[in-house]
Amino acid sequence: MAKFILGNALRKKALHNGPLRHALWLLDLLVIGLLYGLFRLLPVSWASRTGAWLGRRIGPWFKSRCQHMRANLGLAFPDKSSEEIERLLPEIWGNGGAVLGEFPHLARIVDPRHDYLDIRFEQDIPTYSDPTRPAVFVTAHIANWEAAGASLHRYGVPLVALYSPLANPWLEKLLRRSRQALGCELISRDASMRPFVQALKQGRSVAMIMDRRIDQGTPIPFFGADKPSSTLAARLALKFGCPLVPVKIERRDGPRFRVTFLPPLQPAAPDADQEAQARDLTRQIHGHFEQWITERPGAWFCSKKIWSSAILRSRQGGNVTLSPDTDPHATHR
């Protein structure tokens, strides 16, 4: 928010100027903190709807994010006209605003005494009856992705979740405080594989959001175009013989969600080497994401660059103008 208010030139200077960077962080905290405090005072349904209303109106101010959304949606839905793509942007921003409005109320959303989570299991796995037998759960930035962790916490599943930490340490602290209601340990994307290996050895499950690009990742088709992707979820599931479970999240009304735990994925060629199996399982994960996004593209929060600029230009007639792929924050995607 502060970077938007103060402009692109000042943003570039802030990257190399400690005091200015901290001033921007403080301004961010004031703006987001005020919104956060307002949402916390409101009932959860009002906070969700107020956040959605603000998101639809404020989101379009962020031109670079809108640019990424148009590019991502244009590649994912080549049959949609530019007018149809434009009509999706307010819906996407509205969903993002609703997620922000719901953050202060995660504890209430988790609480089984309230009817916010409609949890469904399409196939039984040992984890559901015995939380000490771990699984690997994967989902995407669709609806409110925090509902996956909320659902597992409701069933007493000890969880370690992969997440992208915010650059602003004060906002990071604010959001981590809300996520405490999910009862999971948060592991940064910058960490090695070791914390997840240790968690699975201890009988804790792992959760990951996997629709963003990962610089230096493995090229895996997503909507027919290679996306640099992490195969970590698949590799962990294969290494430990754990179920690899896609989790579909649908916003029903305001802060109410249907959370569906799908049948565990199986490699198409069990006799192939582990790397080939990991790529195959990641392709299957992408296939589920494609289906969910196609069903409701306005629920997909695709505000960051997902494919390389070269792929976007080749798929969209060379008319895409985006920031360079060597974005200093790209590792958190």
pLDDT digits (tens, 9 = 90+) for 31-72: 888 889 999 999 999 999 999 999 999 999 889 899 999 999
Please give the average per-residue pLDDT across 160-183, as a whole number: 84
Q: Are 260 and 247 in contact (CB under 8 A)?
A: yes
Q: How confident is the model at residue 8 (pLDDT cuts 50, 70, 90)?
A: very low
Please give the average per-residue pLDDT across 97-121, as a whole number: 94
Say what the pLDDT of residue 174 is: 82
Q: Are 229 and 210 in contact (CB under 8 A)?
A: yes
User: What span, in angstroms and rounded, lies between the C-alpha atoms of 89 and 240?
Assistant: 41
pLDDT tens per residue across span 259-289: 999 999 999 999 999 999 999 999 999 999 9
Half-sphere exposure of 8 (CA within 13 A, CB side): 4
Which backbone phi and psi does 185 adopt, to 5 degrees? Answer: -85, 135
pLDDT of residue 333 exceeding 80, the answer is: no
Contacts for 124 with CB less than 8 Å, ≥ 6 apart: none
Output DSSP code: residue 142.
Answer: B
b/e sequence 146-180, b meaning 16+ C-beta within 10 Å: bbbbbbbbbeebbbbbbbebbebeebeebbeebbe
Q: What kind and span of H or E run contains 247?
A: strand 244-253
User: What span, in angstroms and rounded, lies between the C-alpha atoms of 272 and 281?
Assistant: 12
Least confident of 5-9, 129-133, 182-186: 5-9
Least confident of 226-230, 305-309, 318-322: 318-322
Domain extents in the chain: 1-41, 42-332
Q: Residue for token digits 């709807």?
A: 49
pLDDT tens per residue across span 197-218: 999 999 999 999 999 998 889 9
Q: Give, in degrees to the nearest 5, the angle at Cα 294 between 127 and 46.
A: 75
- The residue type found at 202 is Q
Least confident of 147-151, 176-180, 202-206: 176-180
Q: Are 107 and 70 in contact (CB under 8 A)?
A: no
Q: Are 318 and 166 in contact (CB under 8 A)?
A: no
Say what the pLDDT of residue 11 is: 56
User: What span, in angstroms and rounded, lies between the C-alpha atoms of 112 and 116?
Assistant: 8
- Radius of gyration of the CA atoms of the chain, in A: 20
Handedness of CA 14, 16, 20, 26 (dihedral sign): positive
Say what the pLDDT of residue 330 is: 39
Output DSSP code: residue 304.
Answer: S
Beta strand 136-139 with 184-188 is unpaired
Say what the pLDDT of residue 48 is: 97
